[in-house]
Amino acid sequence: MGHCLGRAALAVALAAVLTANAAAQAAKDGKAPDPVRERGRYLAIIGGCNDCHTPNYAMSGGDVDESQWLTGDSLGWRGPWGTTYAVNLRLYMQDLTEKEWVGKARQLQTRPPMPWFNLNKMADADLRAFYRYVRSLSPTGEPAPAYVPPNQEPKPPYVTFPAPPK
């Protein structure tokens, strides 16, 4: 029994040291842990935002350095609507206030494959958390290519969606 208590005490001590080390590193970096920001990071991952808005994210199984997350992509998504590109969210959100972002997210209607209808239904707290996460990243990268109408051939690379059944 004493041996088990010793292991439990060691585990508690190790957890305390790791937590203190993480807090010290965050303080050293000038970034105090922010649970709202971390919620936004989590939402970006589970919401699939990186799948389109981060180059090579889906194809690499998510193995892309976080410094490249949400920088948009030059991979086009072509269908009956034309060809769309995932915007660089880091640049897009730099000029928006949190209140403006929540308002835009509530009203957003875009072309496929962006699931704007899901964004419209997100809780305000989740939209604010996502905003805080994106704004915590440095504004880097280039704007996404412009929309290409359906009657024009986009520059590769692009994915072609089949026309919906009639």
Beta carbons within 10 angstroms of residue 78's beta carbon: 17
Q: Is 56 left (phi over 0), alpha (psi -120 to 50) or beta?
A: left
Query: Do the Cβ atoms of 49 and 105 come closer than 8 Å?
Result: no
Q: Domain boundaries in the chain?
A: 1-31, 34-160
Q: pTM for the full model?
A: 0.79
Contacts by 53-57 with C-beta closer than 8 Å and gap 24+?
53/86, 53/87, 53/88, 53/89
Tens of pLDDT along 84-143?
999 999 999 999 999 999 999 999 999 999 999 999 999 999 999 999 999 999 999 999
pLDDT digits (tens, 9 = 90+) for 44-101: 999 999 999 999 999 999 999 999 999 999 999 999 999 999 999 999 999 999 999 9
